[in-house]
Chains A and B, each alone.
Chain A
């Protein structure tokens, strides 16, 4: 029974149903606030997809992701509020800015292995926060940037309204997921996965580590910058708090819960957790009392999150149902179990 539902979910049509639900959502929502919450969940989901590229597929824990989100938000904010640009040119500039800075940070940080990379990006994220907070001449410091332009509408569509903006964000999210899907199935996506399996192995397969890691990193910062710019266009006021490390931690939580290294995980995790925290107001402040231990439990018991566990379960179900393909598991030795634990990703 469950398996049948599972196969339905894996059919291509399930995507279209999901999309139809997303399009219908503003009509089903009981008030505008719910539409607003959903739009902001979508914005974060875009950023989490970016994190999934570098951390989920490529295996490099990037703790500066929130910083790049803030860079996108501030680039758009400052260009529209202070320099008088209109939204779309500033939006493009925000993407370019996050790509260029991502490239520069990537060149230095991606030469570093594992722990060093995580620590380095943690510091980069903090440098971004400090610069935004202290460089008052450019960023207005703690006051933040006000009067940020909304996207230019056309005809009767006005993006200062919540619902049109919701559809705009949805369009970007659909594009983000579509590209991600294509990437993950392509040779390029497989190249990123090979890097996650190990630097030395990837190199022995003729993969240029630096070039591919930088590409993955820049893609991820562009996703973050895009999300940040959309966020700025939605809330119209940004402050140094956008660069707070806690945003990065939030995104890691969304990614882990939904399923790191999976295609649906970032959407599932982000939308799910955003709604849970919204509906349980007391959680807003103390949510980490639950999500902190949840992160620990996930990496110990279900490191591939909801989506990954589901896919694994489906695979095993399909294998056991397929006639003549049954395999004995009696050969599994203790040694192999240990290895499994070792390389479970």
Chain B
């Protein structure tokens, strides 16, 4: 029984991280219709920035996380301004190739400074809580709680503030939003900033129980894509639900089926879903 609960905890942890990464990806897709292949690289840079702030500058975990979020948000804005904005009228294949270009560049730069080695990142939350046999490391609890808090905050921002409402409006109808005088440039930059910050926070939360290395974004970004296809590209609740589905599928699949193949579960799921419904699971309308 406690093993089962343990897997639930693992599923929640994984689901929270995946959900946060997928949220940024889905927002960018919703607003700009760009499948941002570089999003995983932003996640990776987020982890390395936190590592840099903590190890080299010796600041506290929380400060490092905030610093990393700011740096990656700025980086994401730069990507939007310098790369995706000039390509907004190009054939769809171009922005995908450009995103791959960004991804390759960021990985190479990080590798130049830090090398390809795997690194460990420490965290002040190393304790383990024991609830009657159910063992929960503090960091995992932190991940779940923070992810939950962030999602609530993001929802409040999107629903209650003017800027948030603009983002939602533009996600639903780009041309319409343009007509009613929404500054689409500002919204695009804002969306990229949010997606970058979310990726950096997710990376910083997850890094202490995982490893930090230049290729760490690969798997995460692919799973995030699976998640937003699962949840409907552009849908915020879909990204969270999809994140949890994949997180739980992996936790339980890895435990009860095979650890070696746990990473295939997400992709197998994708193949099944798209074979059955080419538009994704929750796609709306004819287009």
Q: Could you list which residues of chain A lie within 8 angstroms of chain B, going by C-beta atoms? A: 55, 59, 61, 108-109, 111-116, 118-120, 122-124, 126-127, 130-131, 134, 245, 249, 252-253, 256, 285-289, 291-296, 299-300, 303, 338, 341-345
Interface residues of B in 104-133 (CB under 8 A from A): 104-109, 111-112
Nearest-CB residue, chain B, relative to A56: B93
Q: Chain A residues with Cβ under 8 A from B105's Cβ?
A: 288-289, 292-293, 296
Once bound together, how far apart are the Cα atoms of A294 and B93, in whole Å?
A: 16
**Looking at the complex, which one of A109, A119, A245, A295 makes contact with B101 (CB distance below 8 Å)?**
A295
* Interface membership of B261, Cβ < 8 A: yes
A114 touches B101 (CB 8 A): no
| Contact A344-B97, Cβ < 8 Å, known A120-B274, A127-B267, A134-B261 | no
A289 touches B108 (CB 8 A): yes
Number of B positions contacting A (CB below 8 A): 49
A127 touches B264 (CB 8 A): yes
Question: Chain B binding site: helix, strand, loop or mixed by DSSP?
Answer: helix
A112 touches B98 (CB 8 A): no
Most chain B beta-carbon contacts within 10 A, residue among A120, A249, A292, A338 = A292
Nearest-CB residue, chain A, relative to B278: A111
| Contact A296-B90, Cβ < 8 Å, known A108-B274, A120-B270 | no
Q: Chain B residues with Cβ under 8 A from A115's Cβ?
A: 29, 33, 35, 92, 96, 233
B286 CB, min distance to chain A CBs, angstroms: 12
A109 CB, min distance to chain B CBs, angstroms: 8
Q: Chain A residues with Cβ under 8 A from B219's Cβ?
A: 126
**Contact indicator per residue, chain B 267-279, by CB within 8 Å of chain A (1) or not (0):** 1101100110010
B104 touches A295 (CB 8 A): yes
A67 CB, min distance to chain B CBs, angstroms: 12
* Interface membership of B66, Cβ < 8 A: no
B41 CB, min distance to chain A CBs, angstroms: 10
* Interface membership of B281, Cβ < 8 A: no
What would 16 A/B residue contacts be, using CB atoms closer than 8 Å?
A: A55-B93, A112-B278, A114-B92, A114-B93, A115-B33, A115-B92, A116-B229, A122-B37, A122-B225, A123-B271, A126-B219, A287-B108, A289-B112, A291-B104, A295-B101, A341-B89
Interface residues of B in 214-234 (CB under 8 A from A): 218-219, 222, 225-226, 229, 233
* Interface membership of B237, Cβ < 8 A: no
**Contact indicator per residue, chain B 16-35, by CB within 8 Å of chain A (1) or not (0):** 00000000000001000101
* Interface membership of B74, Cβ < 8 A: no
**Looking at the complex, which one of A118, A120, A292, A303 makes contact with B103 (CB distance below 8 Å)?**
A292
B280 CB, min distance to chain A CBs, angstroms: 7
| Contact A108-B280, Cβ < 8 Å, known A115-B92, A299-B87, A299-B90 | no
Q: Chain B residues with Cβ under 8 A from A287's Cβ?
A: 108
* Interface membership of B94, Cβ < 8 A: yes
| Contact A123-B225, Cβ < 8 Å, known A303-B94, A344-B90 | yes
B96 touches A61 (CB 8 A): yes
A130 touches B263 (CB 8 A): yes
* Interface membership of B100, Cβ < 8 A: yes
| Contact A341-B96, Cβ < 8 Å, known A116-B229, A134-B260, A289-B105 | no
* Interface membership of B86, Cβ < 8 A: yes
Once bound together, how far apart are the Cα atoms of A61 and B92, in whole Å?
A: 10
Most chain A beta-carbon contacts within 10 A, residue among B93, B112, B280 = B93
B104 touches A303 (CB 8 A): no
